[in-house]
Every structure is written in C-alpha cells, then in structure tokens.
Amino acid sequence: MADKKKKFYITTAIDYVNASPHLGHAYEKIAADCIARWHKLLGEDVFFLTGTDENAQKNVKAAKKAKIAIKQFVDSNAKLFIKLCKKLQISNDDFIRTIEERHKKVAQQIFELLHKKDLIYKGNYEGLYCTGCEAFKTEKELVTGKCPEHPNLQLELLKEEAYFFKLSLYQDRITQLLEKKYFVVPEAKRKEMLSRIKEQGLKDLCVSRKNLKWGIPVPFDKEHTIYVWIDALTNYISALEYPKGKYKKYWPADVHVIGKDINWFHSVIWPSLLIAADIEIPKTILVHGFINIKGEKISKTTGLVIDPFSITESYGVDSFRYFLLREIPFGQDGDFNEKALVARHNNELADKLGNLVSRTAGLTEKQNTKVKQVKQGQANKTLFKKLKLKEIQKHMQDYELDKALHKIFDFIDDCNAYIQEKKPWQEKDKEKLNNILYSVSDSTRIIAILLWPFIPETAEKIAKQFEFEIKSFDDCKPSLLKLSKIKKAPILFKKIGLEDGLKKATKSGELKKGLRKGL
C-alpha cells in the first residue's frame, strides 16, 4: 500500500564550530524540535535535520588561535553540538557535517550545474571582508567603519579573482516571492527583506574564494574554494541525498528555522540559487529572534555566553526547554534570566503541572477499587469544554509556540480549579466521585500529549504513570483512559531555591569568559 502520510521536512541552520555551543544554538534546536514533534503528533512523516558548518574560514582562524589542527578542531567541536542535541532531547533524524563527502559532492554538483547553465562566471572581487560574518561588507552596512555585528574585528580589504553567481537576474522573482504572505514568518521579518531588496536591489554574488586550503574545491578550478553560502546552504539538500533518495520524498523543505542574522541568505540568496538550479524552493523561512543575557547580546567575541550544558545540569532539560519556549514570544528577541527561569520552574511546572499530576494520581489511586471507566461521551464534559484545542492548533500552525503553551497552561489552571471546586475527597456519591476523578485524569492525559512537543521527558513520565502512550493529536479527546491503572509516582518537579540553582549554574561555568578553546 502506498504511504499516504503527509511529509514534513524541517531544518535548523547549521552552526559554525569555531566555539562550543551557546544559548542561541540551544534555543533554535529546541524550537525546531518542538515544531517537529508537533507534526509527528499530527501523524506526519517528519524528517528533522540539523548540523554543523565546518568549512568556513572562521573555523580555521579559531583553530589557529587554539593551536589545534583544523580537522581535529572541527571534529572535537562538532561532537559538542551532537552532544548538545542529545542533552536537549532534540529528535533530529540526521546530523550533517559539511566536511562529509556526501555534502561535498552535492555542493560541487550544484556549483557545476550553475556554471554549465552560465549562471556562474569568473570576475574580480574587491571589497571589505568581515571574517566574523564570512561576508564582504558594503560601505552602507558599516557602522563607523566596522561591521555592526563584529565591532571589534578588523575588516580586511580583499581583492581577488572570484566566481560570481548571477543573483541580479532574480530580483523580480524574489520580490514576488517575498510579497507572498507565508514565505517568511513572522510578517515583520518578511517585510524587512522586502524593503531591503527594493532599496538595495540584487547584485551578483561572489561564490568562491581563492587559494584557501580548507573548504570544498570548485570542481573545475582547483585554485578556488566554494564560498560559504553555496556550500552551507546546500546542506539542506545534500543530507537528503540530492537528487535521489530521501530528496525525492522530503524536498522541498516545509520549514527552515533560522536566526534573524541569516534571514537574507535564506529568503533571498537560497531561493535564487534554487530557482537557478531548477529546484523547488522551501515553503517557509521561520525566523527567530536573539536571546539576550541581562539585556546584552550573546556574543562569543565578547565572552558573554551561557553554557547550555551547565544550565541543563542545574535545572533539568525540561525546565530549560519550557522556559525558552514560554518566555520568548517566538520571532522576537528575548531575555535569558535565571531568576525568571527559576520562577517559571517553581510557579508553573512545579505548582501547576506537577501539582495537578500528583493530586490526580493520588486521589485516583486512593479510590482505585471504586472507580469505573466512564462511558464515551459521559465524562469530562464540563472540564473538557474549557480546553481550547482549536486555538492551540492554530497557534502551532502559525508558529506561535509561546501562545500555544500559554493556552495549555490555562487548561492546567482549569483542571486545578476544578479539583478545588469539586473537592473529590469529600464526595460521598460514588458516581459523582467517579466522574470527577475521571475528568481530571483524562484531562491530565490530554495535557501530557499536548505538552510532549515542549517538554517530552515530563510528558513521557506522565504517560508512564498513567499507563498510556503518546501517539497522536487525535487522542486529545475524552474518555480513553483506564483509571485503575494510575499510580502515584515521585513528584515531577522539585522546587528550586533561587540561591541553590544560581550557585550551581555559576559553579559549573555560567558566564565564564572564554569558556572553551577558540573563544
């Protein structure tokens, strides 16, 4: 039988491995993971890709500074990114490293294809180059002669023979594309690109560098290396075994999750390259904001970084995931603040969710022998009506992850209030008691399903305790649970004293300057 499942291909950006992962990397992966898991719940055939960008000159510079051979340097740092994915329970199906053969082959293939189509030509490039961005900068982009993203890096004046991609040919096509509503989300980020393209126009793009030892060689001209964007961007198709294999099933990407600093490359350059190569363009570029720490931008250059490993050690993976997804309105910049994390852990995860689960399990277990399964359609009516399932679905569809989470927690509040109001511990009428307990336990089951994309570990603990499986969004309807199987279990979230948490995190490396080699 033919597989009729709808496919869903989601990617994160690939990360430079010039230093160990920071909070921004963790946030992007967590957000993408939440979306990927949601689509799994919807029954779709999800393919989720993340990886590392290892050919960039940035990495070479960092390796030199650390006095480590480049290959060894990228290998050991790439491992940290892979480790981070595991630590954060990221459900990626593949992890691509751009030094892998499977990637090199495809990057070269695309370069050659565009050259054959006469869309890549040889010329001369002269300009100011920022090694931080790995990009030439126009005068217009500079702030007091410096790159605004890397004010403490010296710009280099480079003049060299280079290959150019005829990006200018695609101005009209890309403008039309950006006029379409959902190509770039959120709206403000789409409009930003649209006005930039109208203001600056599209010039041909330098796509090679000369005389570099590290990187993917231009297949027909070994003096040249494929310049970072044709190399990096093609990871999205090389991991799918373009032009065969998984590519046939999963391309085009449904969502590329990226940071706002690389929006231009993904919503202007990438679709131009794809159109030029006669490849379908991705459906949505989903742009998240930056996370600041106490109001300042995270930067490896200034050393203001938070180590996501130590935060996870101190607070637990789900508290960290929950905080980032709940606190930051998706698409906007947010602030990371450990006090706020501790407050959300205590007030929301422990007091609301944890409390609901332990009360429900406790009360139900106590009544174990007396409780019977309520017939379909008889239970949960009052309580279930309070669940805004359609709204949650709509928020997720619009990538408003924080709002969806907010709605789920509103329902948790409703459930706690329901217990408080019905006082099952005082209820003498067996049938009434049965119905109350059934309502809250079954609602808890539904809550766990809905929370799985956000806090998978916790959701799975609840599922185990209540003896059901998290399988499908379709199971978010009443009356499926056998009450007699619910057992008491250790509490889900222990409260954290602010002092304890902060001390622990600081000890294990928070805000340490020059955390690891290469900073």
Binding residues for Zn ion, rule: CB under 5 A, are: 130, 132-133, 147, 149-150
Cβ proximity to Zn ion: between 1 and 143 the closer is 143
Would you say 137 or 422 has its CB closer to Zn ion?
Answer: 137
Residue 297 annotated in active site: yes
Q: Is 115 a catalytic residue?
A: no
Q: How many CB atoms lie within 10 A of CB 428?
A: 6
Identity of the amino acid at 246: K
Q: Which of 87, 105, 150, 495 is catalytic?
A: 150
3-state secondary structure 181-235: CCCEECHHHHHHHHHHHHHHCCCCEECEEECCCCCCEECCEEEEEECHHHHHHCH
401: CB partners within 8 A, 6+ apart: 31, 34, 35, 325, 330, 395, 454
Considering the complex, what minimum distance in angstroms separates the CB of residue 198 from Zn ion?
A: 24
Nearer to Zn ion, 130 or 317 (CB): 130
Nearer to Zn ion, 135 or 492 (CB): 135
How far apart CA 108 and CA 120 sit, in angstroms, is 13
Q: How far is CA 298 from CA 45, 154, 291, 301, 366, in A?
A: 35, 20, 7, 9, 50
Alpha helix stretches (DSSP H) within 235-337: 235-238, 245-250, 263-264, 270-276, 308-315, 317-327
Compute the distance between CA of residue 376 and CA of residue 478 in angstroms, rounded to an integer.
Answer: 7
**Catalytic-labelled residue, pool 29, 40, 85, 130:** 130
Q: What 3-state DSSP class applies to 355?
A: helix
Catalytic-labelled residue, pool 61, 87, 146, 297: 297
Q: Is 147 a catalytic residue?
A: yes
The residue (of 149 and 313) whose beta carbon lies closer to Zn ion is: 149
The one-character DSSP state at 497 is -
Type of residue found at 103: H
Position of tokens 């131009």? 272
Bridge partners of 208, per DSSP, are 226
Angle at CA of residue 405, ends 43 and 413, nearest 5°: 115
- Assess whether 130 carries a catalytic annotation: yes
CA dihedral 120, 257, 456, 84 (to 10 degrees): 60
Known catalytic residue at 22: yes
9/236 Cα distance (integer angstroms): 10
Active-site residue among 115, 189, 300, 345?
A: 300
Burial 364-380 (b: 16+ CB within 10 A, else e): bbebeeebebbeeeebb
Closest approach of Cβ 134 to Zn ion, in Å? 8
Taking the complex as a whole, the smallest distance from the CB of residue 147 to Zn ion amounts, in Å, to 3
User: Rg for the chain (alpha carbons), in Å?
Assistant: 26
Shortest distance (Å) from residue 156 CB to Zn ion: 11
Instruction: Tell the smallest beta-carbon distance from residue 210 to Zn ion (Å).
Output: 21
Active-site residue, 406 included: no
Inter-residue contact 175 to 197 (CB < 8 Å): yes
User: Nearer Cβ to Zn ion, position 123 or 303?
Assistant: 303
> What residues are annotated to the active site?
22, 25, 130, 133, 147, 150, 297, 300
